[in-house]
Amino acid sequence: MAGARSKPRPFRVVVTGGPCAGKSTLCRLLAARFPEAVLVPEAATEVILSGQTPDRLGQEAFQQKVYERQIVLEREALRRGAFLICDRGLPDGLAYCPGIFQRLGVSLEKALRRYAVVLHLAVIADPETYRLHCAENPARREDHARALVLEKNLRKIYSGHPSYHFLWGSLEAKFTAAVRILLESRRAAQPRLDFPPEEAD
């Protein structure tokens, strides 16, 4: 239709990292810093708190539930705006269940293209500080050694993304770096997606 305005393409930012790395807190801080952004909550936490745990379902079935919930959450968020800040992304499930994408018939390459920027937060370095921090989150049961393994897995999964950033230090340092990266990314380039918005989920 002549004169009709095209839909803006999604600009999804995924905030990933091992357990208790500060992802949810950073997402909330970024959403406050960028009021036009829509915050997408962590799908895995929602699934766990609904009673569908990995112990109950098995890791593969659990990760499928998380994947499906992530799709729904991102789709719902896109109705409210094109700039999404996602607390974890679709590829995160591979860190916990390497065969999940094969089961779902999904390619990592397409899942990565979904996101314009990847912000990977380092796990808390001190084991005791990590333990105390995770005690506040009933959905997190991984010990510090397991958290570091997951961090390594996530780095391997996401590091092939053209706008991958590994952030470490205090939460304030991570926030400062994340704001700079997002300002530069949004100013410099459109999200590089190989499919139109209606096919993005």
Q: What is the pLDDT of residues 58-80, one digit of tens each?
A: 999 999 999 999 999 999 999 99
Query: Which amino acid belongs to residue 119?
Result: L
Instruction: Decide: 69 and 103 in contact? Cβ < 8 Å.
Output: no
Beta bridge partners of 149: none
User: How many angstroms separate the Cα of 157 from the Cα of each of 4, 66, 107, 194?
Assistant: 39, 17, 12, 19
User: CB neighbours of 116 closer than 8 A, spacing ≥ 6?
Assistant: 10, 11, 12, 13, 163, 185, 191, 192, 193
Give the up-direction half-sphere exposure of residue 41: CA atoms within 13 A in the CB hemisphere. 7
CA dist., res. 201 & res. 190, Å (int): 19
Measured over the CA atoms of residue 62, residue 67, residue 70 and residue 76, the dihedral's sign is negative
The mean of the pLDDT values for the chain is 89
Report the predicted TM-score, pTM, of the whole model to 2 decimal places: 0.87
pLDDT over 70 percentage in the chain = 89
pLDDT at 193: 41
Classified by CATH at the fold level, domain 11-187 comes out as Rossmann fold (3.40.50)
User: CB neighbours of 94 closer than 8 A, spacing ≥ 6?
Assistant: 100, 101, 108, 153, 157
41 pLDDT exceeds 90? yes
Averaged over 120-125, what is the pLDDT? Answer: 94
Instruction: Decide: 123 and 148 in contact? Cβ < 8 Å.
Output: yes
